[in-house]
Structure 1
Amino acid sequence: METVYDWITVAIFGGMVVLFLHRSTQDEPKDSLIQYLPPAVGCALANYVGNHGQGPLSAAIVVAVLVYILLVLKPFDLKLW
């Protein structure tokens, strides 16, 4: 945990873990584990790219991961459309 990329991606990943654990304890879980793979890989990729001097690309990947989480995993009961 040395760079800002480490902290940001670990925080996002930790949030996804909490979301998954919370939803998996429901009577009828509606999420599948495979839905969490793209943002997890995105976090790893953003961290790797950021640690190798590609800050803007890392930021774009983090934004894409957050958009995926909001639109696919829907952690909040927001009615976006």
Structure 2
Amino acid sequence: METAYDWITVFIFAGLVTKFLSESVKPEGSDDSIWQYLPPAIGCGLANWLGNDGWDLAAIFVIALTLGYALYVFGPFRRSPPKH
């Protein structure tokens, strides 16, 4: 862990893992699918790789997309399915 990209992406990934684990132990189940965690996990790896190779703007853009996706899908901006 040498660069800021290492720390930032590991921090985001740790948040994803924590969210996944907390959802998986709920007795009533979760609306989250395991596949929803794949795009931000790939985004963390891609952003880290880009940042460590000197593509700073691209890495920052991918980090922003990753956080935006995670907030939209898992966070307070999540749309709940209609109840019938």
In structure 2, stretches of 5+ residues that fail to align are 80-84
Corresponding position: 1:69 with 2:70:
yes
Give the whole-Å Cα distance in 1 for the aligned partners of 2:78 and 2:58: 26
TM-score by length of structure 2 reads 0.87
Corresponding position: 1:12 with 2:12:
yes
Give the whole-Å Cα distance in 2 for the aligned partners of 1:7 and 1:19: 18
Match for residue 48 of structure 1? 49
In structure 1, stretches of 5+ residues that fail to align are none
Three-state SS of the structure 1 residue aligned to 2:70 is helix
Moved more, 1-10 or 24-33: 24-33
CA RMSD, Structure 1 to Structure 2 (Å): 1.5
TM-score by length of structure 1 reads 0.90
Percent identity of equivalent pairs: 46
Larger Rg: 2
Structure 1 runs, 4 residues or longer, greater than 2 Å off = 78-81
Q: Deviations over 1:17-64 (max 9, x none)?
A: 000000111121211110000000000000000000001110000000
Give the whole-Å Cα distance in 1 for the aligned partners of 2:52 and 2:26: 37
